[in-house]
A and B are shown apart, each in its own frame.
Chain A
Amino acid sequence: MSVLVVLISLSLLAALGFLGAFIWAVKNGQFDDYETPSMRMLMENKKDTIQNNQK
């Protein structure tokens, strides 16, 4: 039965990882603007644009 305990603990840990990713995304501002990224992704990335956006 202890196998089950180990497995469930592991799955919970994995899930916590996803929760962490979600918290990071919110804090990073990923949910602040729903409109602009949809326009941005259609634009061609020339070299200097890429550098610019990675800053």
Chain B
Amino acid sequence: MEAIQEIHLNKMGQKQSCYHCGDTCPNSRIRIGEKIFCCNGCKMVYELLESNEMCDYYQYSETPGTTPVEAGLKTKFKYLEDEEMRRKLVNFSDGNTASVTFYVPSMHCSSCVWLLENLVRLNPLIHSSRVNYLKKEVQITFEETASTLRQLAELLTSLGYEPQINLDSLVHREDKNLDRDLYLKIGVAGFCFINIMMFHFPEYLAGEQEVESGLSNFFNYLSVALALPVLLYSSLDYFKSAWSALRSKFVNMDVPISLGVITLFTRSIYEVFSGVGSGYMDSFTGLIFLLLVGKLFEKKTYDSLSFERSYKSYFPVSAAKKTDTGETSVPLENLQPGDRILIRSQELIPADSVLIRGNALIDYSFVTGESAPVEKKSGDIIYAGGKQTAGILELDVIKPVNQSYLTELWNDEAFTKPVHSRIISAADSVSRYFTVAVISIALASAVFWAGSSWNLALNAFTAVLIVACPCALALSTPFTLGNTLRVFGWNKFYLKNTAVVEALATIRHIVFDKTGTITRSAVAAISFDSEQELSQEEASMVYSLVRQSMHPLSRQLVSYLNNSKTLPLNNFTEEAGQGISADFNGTTVRVGSARFVGFDSESGQNASRVYLSVNNRLRGSFMIYNALRPGLKKTIAALKKRFKIHLLSGDNEYERKRMESLFGRDADMHFKQSPFEKLAFIKKLQKQNKSVLMVGDGLNDAGALKQSDVGISLTEDLNSFSPASDAVLDAGSLNRLPDFIDFSRKSMRIILISFVISFIYNITGMYFAIQGTLSPLIAALLMPASSISVVVFTTGGVMFLARRMNFKLSGSGGAL
């Protein structure tokens, strides 16, 4: 009925959009006054807001709402009444008041923020609510009773803001303090630096003798006092890092930095307290300040993206267990083999289990990237990770959650062992030689001067260490890579951190996943497989028939046949998950599975097939493939010239031909790969000392993504799920992958050039230092000059390169 009305409205050009969510309304019967709604759900939200005088909601953005999901609402959040579950979910609770943070992915505009911060008007038990828009989180403080938490979740869901509660929500992380810590360190260092510089200012202008000695002493002591917090607080991370590197017999960039910093400080103390001079506290604090700013610059984070997701961020926290008396909710970890569980439409299968009863149509798109739902018969094993898309199911659990086929992947050592980056950063590998060179020069000059004067020897020794402090060297990496990270972000390639750029520059092998990566899951390529072509009339009949069904395969056939006419039909029947049939002027047309149409399915073919029979005679079948991503052929050809390409697919070999046309006959292709085999394949390549880039999208690639040197997870919608990886790439930018790798290599070259620049400064400074004539003025000049020129060169270089390679130089930095 509704479908017919929709055609009617479309013909008359009266498309009307819902006042609440902005969707096209199928009819105009659901209305309040002038306002039209697409469904009763939207209307209910409006009524609720109106009765509470909260229609301001509609003022901040046009049609801000999202349609509330109704299915299974009554029992869905029942588990939130469970005491243990509540204790695990809330941030804190004192028995009366509690606070909880919900992740609400459907939050998308300022109206959403307004409504979520005014929840207090809808439920008196809520004390306050506060939104973090970038993280899409709302923190709610409420009066705690046994049922408040459930009420909260249900209230949010009924408003169209369903909170996502999954296994990961049970783990509370304290990650934001890291950011705050860096801000504080920069604040303290900056404050001390500026003030000390002010105290030293008279010396910069006049010679030391001209400043009154009483005042000069006062300034010097003040400088020492202000330098203490910088040494003991702001620069602590560098000492810690250097110490732990040395303990594991390794020299990183922080070792020469710490060496220089400590020498600077002790020599300044000696000068001030012995009255020889006024020390280098300004250089010392300025150095730490600049280094910390570099660290901040390097740390471009994308709040709304997560690079750490495992299956836990995806699995629910509880399952509905069937008992003699009815139904109880069980925390997922307590689910035992033998338990009978109930799965409703749109719910996830939490553990490997056997189907007992129900019409199972499982969507495995999160696992494999394949979007066409898979049909299961009772007695079949259903693997964890799939989502039920038809009715209610009864299942017998056969394996605990963390030992299921998919989730067992996370017990592999790739996940359990701490990660040691296989790539040593350029700065660290340089600093090994740098440190040795500096110490030997310092010792040599000390020995040289020792003959004439001990004082001069000590002077030269410390001066060399001070002037050779690689601050410009330490700045070039964060500024180059930080800028590269930003350029990538503007072009929809989001990296976890700057180390990924360095890893990307060393890549030799590229491994692609097939389904969902090479192919697009939402768009299908369809061909009709039969001895005789489909006639115009037959096409019209199939078209008129399949457009009555909401099954995903039917929807794909509709878009394939959309040039056909609509014919009137009779006796329409639909057998859920099987097929549909109808009569057209006495001709019976059946479309569906082989069994439904009345024939045995041919074995060996695994593409999604939809069979067609006309008047009970098999006419042929529609083969539905996932379409290839556009423009891929050129990209693969470009990559093939410089890298070795591999393809891993979980599917059967039936697509080998099509893949060969894309990758070439000589390509290394592996089919029927389990998640474990994908992981093992990467390990095997790495054993041959090759650095591997993996591009994948589903949970079944999670192991390979984690193990590879750079794991890129491809996604069509940044807000949707992507497995843990080093980088997230928007599917639309996949064709720029060769450019991204190229750009990383060129960034590394920029770093090398900036190393040379900073060495020139170091050598100039050294020239004075070896002679023992380094004055505070030259030290104070050299340090900022070298740092600033390195920062300007690296930033300018990266931006110039980005322009020459036609990268976008601005973008939605704020939203991500």
Contacts and interface: CB of A to CB of B under 8 A. Distances in A.
A22 B113 contact: no
B188 interface: yes
B535 interface: no
B187 interface: yes
A1 B215 contact: yes
A36 B134 contact: yes
Contact of B110 (A29, A33, A39): A39
Interface string B12-30: 0000000000000000000
A39 B133 contact: yes
A42 B56 CA distance: 12
B74 interface: no
Interface string A27-39: 1010111111001
> Which 7 pairs, one residue from A and one from B, show the smallest C-beta to C-beta distance?
A36-B133, A39-B110, A55-B128, A35-B133, A35-B134, A19-B191, A26-B183
Contact of A31 (B121, B180, B222): B180
A43 B501 CA distance: 41
A15 B195 contact: yes
B118 interface: yes
B207 interface: no
A23 B187 contact: yes
B117 interface: yes
Nearest to A32: B176
Contacts of B815: 35
Contacts of B218: 5, 8
5 contacts: A19-B191, A32-B132, A35-B134, A36-B131, A39-B133
A5 B215 contact: yes
Interface string A2-31: 001100100010010011001100110101
Given A27-B180, A32-B179, A36-B133, A55 B215 contact: no
Contacts of A39: 60, 110, 113, 133
Interface residues of A, number: 29
Given A4-B215, A5-B218, A43-B114, A22 B141 contact: no
B184 A26 contact: yes
Contacts of A15: 191, 195
A33 B132 contact: yes
Given A5-B215, A31-B180, A36 B120 contact: no
Given A31-B180, A39-B60, 16 more contacts: A1-B215, A4-B215, A12-B195, A12-B222, A27-B180, A32-B179, A42-B60, A42-B110, A43-B56, A43-B113, A49-B117, A49-B118, A52-B118, A52-B120, A52-B128, A53-B117
Contacts of B113: 36, 39-40, 43
B214 A1 contact: yes
A44 B56 CA distance: 9
B604 interface: no
B120 A40 contact: no
Contacts of B187: 19, 22-23, 26
Contact of B134 (A19, A23, A33): A33
A49 B120 CA distance: 9
Interface string B172-193: 0000100110011001100100
B278 to A, nearest CB: 15
A19 B517 CA distance: 51
Contact of B133 (A12, A26, A33): A33
A26 B132 contact: no
Given A15-B195, A52-B118, A55-B128, A43 B180 contact: no
Interface in B158-182: 176, 179-180
Contacts of B127: 55
Interface of A: 1, 4-5, 8, 12, 15, 18-19, 22-23, 26-27, 29, 31-36, 39-40, 42-44, 48-49, 52-53, 55
Contacts of A36: 113, 131-134
Interface string B370-406: 0000000000000000000000000000000000000
B212 interface: yes
Contacts of A44: 56
Contacts of A5: 215, 218
Contacts of A52: 117-118, 120, 128-129
B95 interface: no
Contacts of A40: 113, 117
Nearest to B214: A1
Interface residues on B, range: 35 or more
Tell me the dominant secondary structure on chain B's binding face.
helix
A52 B191 CA distance: 36
B451 interface: no
Contacts of B180: 26-27, 29, 31-32
B33 interface: no
B814 interface: yes
Most buried by A among B132, B135, B180, B222: B180
Nearest to A46: B56
B215 A31 contact: no
User: Which of B131, B133, B814 is packed against the most chain A CB atoms within 10 Å?
Assistant: B133
Contacts of B188: 19
A52 B133 CA distance: 18
Contacts of A34: 134, 814
A10 to B, nearest CB: 13
Contacts of A4: 215
B54 to A, nearest CB: 10
Nearest to B199: A8
A19 to B, nearest CB: 5
A48 B121 contact: yes
B215 A53 contact: no
A55 to B, nearest CB: 5
A44 B60 CA distance: 10
Nearest to B118: A49
A6 to B, nearest CB: 11
Contacts of B110: 39, 42-43
A1 B202 CA distance: 15
B183 A53 contact: no
B486 to A, nearest CB: 16
Nearest to B114: A43
Nearest to B225: A12
A1 to B, nearest CB: 6
A41 to B, nearest CB: 10
A1 B218 CA distance: 11
Contacts of B118: 49, 52
Nearest to B135: A33
A23 B184 contact: yes
Nearest to B229: A19
A7 B115 CA distance: 52
Contacts of B179: 31-32
Contacts of B183: 26, 31
Contacts of B214: 1
A40 B215 CA distance: 51
Contacts of A48: 120-121
B718 to A, nearest CB: 15
Nearest to B132: A33
Interface string B104-126: 00000010011001101100000
Contacts of B134: 33-36
Max count, chain B CB within 10 A of own CB: residue among A5, A27, A36, A49: A36
A17 to B, nearest CB: 11
A35 B814 contact: yes
A53 B139 CA distance: 12
B732 to A, nearest CB: 24
Nearest to A43: B114
Interface in B574-629: none
A22 to B, nearest CB: 5
A19 B134 CA distance: 28
Contacts of A53: 117, 128, 130
